[in-house]
Amino acid sequence: MSAPFQDALQNRLLKMMPAKSFARIRPHLEPVDLPLKTVIVPPGVETSHVHFIENGLGSIIASSGDNEHIEVGHIGWEGMSGAHLVLGSLQSPNRTFMQVAGAGLRMEASVFLEAMEEDVPIRRLLLRYVHTYEIQLAQSALANGRYSVRERLARWLLMSHDRIAGDDLPLTHDYLSLMLGVRRPGVTDEIHILEGTGLIKATRGHILMLNRAKMEEVAGGCYGLAEREYERLIDGTG
């Protein structure tokens, strides 16, 4: 099955490519289903494909030598897996898997690297994307060091909402615990507080966003800067 035409895509990176650049890579884009828990970047081995996510949510997990894990990033329809390839590394110690099932377009890493090498607009766009991802990482470090669990939870829920269609977020308490690097009971307590103030409704395995504006108020300064940088460089003309 061939890839959809550009105007039918959801992935914002592919949609923002110049038409000539997209036409170059379209024959190499393979539509794929991405079921829950699918590993799209295995750690410590050469990455075989990049994935441009059309729907669903990928989770990037950092692990330590003594088996500690925390989520360090999200990938949805705004981005792609395998950002390390853009920077010249063929593998990453981080694992990326589908936290929310979806679908996407995958491309062999070797073909991707060749296209990026030969097509300046593709290379420029992807380098800008990697920059926005680095800003997201920096903001996560700031949030972890200077903001409360409730503020950080609000930030991650907003980031998930940005990347999933609709207001129903299929996120478990275990996943939210991994996102925040705190024990599950602490996450559950904070979810109950947000629910009690009418911002969300929590059911088994789902969080329904009821009041995004108020959620942004709870997140405060730890949400928004990375998102504005993405809009400036990817969606805008910066």
Instruction: State residue 2's pLDDT score.
Output: 78
pLDDT (mean) for 2-22: 94
pLDDT (mean) for 29-46: 97
Q: How confident is the model at residue 138 (pLDDT cuts 50, 70, 90)?
A: very high
Give the Cβ contact number of residue 89 at 10 Å.
Answer: 13
CA distances in angstroms from 105 to 27, 43, 113, listed in the order given: 11, 21, 16
Instruction: State residue 212's pLDDT score.
Output: 98
Whether the CB-CB separation of 107 and 25 falls below 8 Å is answered with yes
Instruction: State residue 78's pLDDT score.
Output: 97
What is the separation of C-alpha 6 from the centre of its chain, rounded to a whole number of angstroms? 21
pLDDT higher than 70, residue 6: yes
pLDDT higher than 70, residue 79: yes
Least confident interval from 123-132, 160-169, 176-185: 176-185
CA pair distance 94, 82, nearest whole angstrom = 10
> Measured on CA atoms in the order 114, 77, 233, 26, is the torsion positive or negative?
positive
pLDDT higher than 80, residue 229: yes
pLDDT (mean) for 161-173: 94
Least confident interval from 61-65, 88-92, 110-114: 61-65
Indicate the average pLDDT of the chain: 95
Instruction: State residue 237's pLDDT score.
Output: 43
Q: Taking Cα atoms as reference points, which of 87, 61, 93 lies closest to residue 179? A: 61
Instruction: State residue 175's pLDDT score.
Output: 87
Stated pTM of the model: 0.94
pLDDT (mean) for 101-108: 98
> 179 pairs with which residues across the strands?
none
> 202 pairs with which residues across the strands?
207
Whether the CB-CB separation of 14 and 105 falls below 8 Å is answered with yes
For residues 38 and 183, which has the higher predicted lDDT (pLDDT)?
A: 38
